[in-house]
Amino acid sequence: MIRTFRGLITDGGQDTIVLHTNDGATGYRIVKFQIMAQDAGTTAQESTVKIFKIVQSSITSEIDFSDNKLLAAAYWSSAPNYEAAEDLAVIFEREVFNQDIYLTHVDTAATQPVNYYLELEQIKLDLGESTVATLKDIRNVKTQGF
């Protein structure tokens, strides 16, 4: 089963996608992640949207694929009145997770919001898979210092 989520996230904002369950037996995997400007072509925009396994205490445009808490990153840029081609790059991890995820957004050219669209494949986890996914998330929270 595919679950979809969409929204408009502000510059410097963080959205929570609530996925956790009491037993952790439902897992998810990203199958599609897209971003799009709210008002493309009228304002310069350089948006970076990232998806994390844990809440972020600081929101930046820096992308570090060695960060094991990062699940996905997308970058959108455009210029006013189509002076330059629009750019879009999206990369996501195929990892299975069973806890809430967090989207962050930074626009380094202005302060524009950006739309996001996310498709997650819902997966039934057995006890072993559920335990592994939950323990990974607990370890990530502890290494973050919360």
Kindly report, residue by residue over 129-143, the tens digit of the pLDDT: 777 777 776 666 655
Backbone angles phi, psi at 91, to 5 degrees: -135, 135
**Average pLDDT taken over every residue of the chain:** 88
| Lowest-confidence pick of 7-16, 20-29, 135-144 | 135-144
Which domains, and CATH codes, for the chain?
Answer: 2-144 (2.60.120)
| Beta carbons of 47 and 58 less than 8 angstroms apart | no
Paired tokens of 139? 């370890």
pLDDT tens for each residue of 57-113 = 999 999 999 999 999 999 998 877 666 656 788 999 889 999 999 999 999 998 999
Partnered with residue 55 across adjacent β-strands are: none
